């Protein structure tokens, strides 16, 4: 008995399922081959493989570029939105210093009250007033917004202000008040125009000149 040709035998055993399995095998193997063909080896892409301007802003992750990655001196004022920057502490202080001579809500120039003179940042009366005692002098200065000067403040202005000749009440009260141990009475320091520094009881008379801060 003659056997059928081999081609006929193969075709005889082909079924729809056989064909589909074969096609799927080819597709799977072909895909793996294509994947292997286009898989980029690790560490194989460098600067020579990148085209110019190929890395766009959208390719960069947030916070991907840090200060350590920026070359020194490459960021200038043209690259920075200056309006978005606040004042540095030194600049803020400098702005305040520039306006130090204008004070108050209406920016009035700082000045001494009437009938006073400016000496080293303080305003002194240009004329003296006689008082029966230290308490009266201190209260009078407080009522005018001032205070009695310290001995050093008054002593250092003797060449500028008329502190009197020291005769009678022609000497000026200071704010110094103290009590000697065991005496039970208080004394103060008075100064005259010659620079004489004297001690007298606070109940004795003398003249006074008040000191004021700059008007604000």
- Maximal CA-CA distance, the chain: 165
Q: Into how many domains does the chain fold? A: 2
Instruction: Examine residue 124 and state whether it is found in any structural domain, yes or no.
Output: yes
Instruction: Examine residue 60 and state whether it is found in any structural domain, yes or no.
Output: no
Please check the confidence at residue 41 and state whether its pLDDT lies above 80.
no
Q: How confident is the model over 112-138, as pLDDT tens digits?
A: 989 999 999 999 999 999 999 999 999
Q: Are 87 and 81 in contact (CB under 8 A)?
A: no
Instruction: Examine residue 147 and state whether it is found in any structural domain, yes or no.
Output: yes
The CATH number of the domain holding residue 193 is: 3.10.100.10
Question: Which pLDDT band, with edges at 50, 70 and 90, does 200 fall under?
Answer: very high
Segments in the chain forming alpha helices (H): 6-13, 16-38, 89-98, 134-143, 151-155
Q: For 116-123, which contacts have Cβ atoms below 8 Å and span 24 or more sequence positions? A: 116/212, 117/160, 117/161, 118/214, 119/157, 119/160, 119/161, 120/156, 121/214, 122/153, 122/211, 122/212, 122/213, 123/211, 123/212, 123/213, 123/214, 123/215
pLDDT-above-70 percentage for the chain: 69
Instruction: Examine residue 107 and state whether it is found in any structural domain, yes or no.
Output: no
Q: Are 73 and 175 in contact (CB under 8 A)?
A: no
Instruction: Examine residue 92 and state whether it is found in any structural domain, yes or no.
Output: no
What tokens does 86 get?
């606040």
Instruction: Examine residue 146 and state whether it is found in any structural domain, yes or no.
Output: yes
Please tell me the predicted confidence (pLDDT) of residue 119: 94
Please tell me the predicted confidence (pLDDT) of residue 168: 93
Q: CA-CA distance, 177 to 187, in Å (whole number)? A: 6
Q: How confident is the model over 50-60, as pLDDT tens digits?
A: 777 777 877 77
Confidence (pTM): 0.50
- Could you list the beta-strand ranges (E) of the chain: 102-103, 108-109, 116-119, 122-125, 129-131, 172-179, 186-191, 197-201, 206-208, 211-212
Instruction: Examine residue 151 and state whether it is found in any structural domain, yes or no.
Output: yes
> Residue 200: helix, strand or coil by DSSP?
strand
Q: CA-CA distance, 82 to 67, in Å (whole number)? A: 18
Structural domain including 16 reads 6-36
The mean of the pLDDT values for the chain is 79
């Amino acid at each position: 008995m003659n056997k059928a040709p081999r081609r006929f035998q193969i075709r005889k055993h082909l079924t729809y399922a056989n064909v589909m399995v074969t096609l799927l095998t080819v597709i799977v193997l072909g895909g793996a081959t294509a994947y292997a063909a286009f898989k980029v080896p690790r560490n194989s892409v460098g600067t020579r493989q990148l085209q110019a301007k190929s890395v766009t802003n959208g390719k960069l992750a947030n916070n991907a570029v840090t200060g350590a990655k920026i070359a020194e001196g490459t960021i200038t004022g043209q690259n920075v939105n200056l309006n978005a920057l606040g004042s540095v502490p030194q600049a803020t202080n400098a702005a305040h210093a520039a306006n130090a001579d204008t004070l108050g809500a209406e920016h009035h120039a700082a000045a001494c009250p009437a009938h006073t003179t400016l000496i080293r940042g303080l305003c002194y009366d240009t004329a003296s007033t006689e008082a029966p005692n230290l308490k009266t002098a201190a209260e009078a200065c407080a009522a005018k917004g001032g205070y009695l000067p310290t001995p050093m403040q008054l002593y250092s202005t003797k060449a500028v202000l008329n502190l009197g000749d020291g005769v009678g009440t022609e000497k000026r009260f200071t704010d110094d008040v103290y009590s000697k141990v065991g005496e039970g009475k208080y004394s103060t320091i008075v100064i005259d125009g010659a620079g004489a520094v004297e001690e007298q009881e606070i109940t004795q008379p003398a003249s006074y000149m008040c000191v004021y801060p700059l008007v604000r």
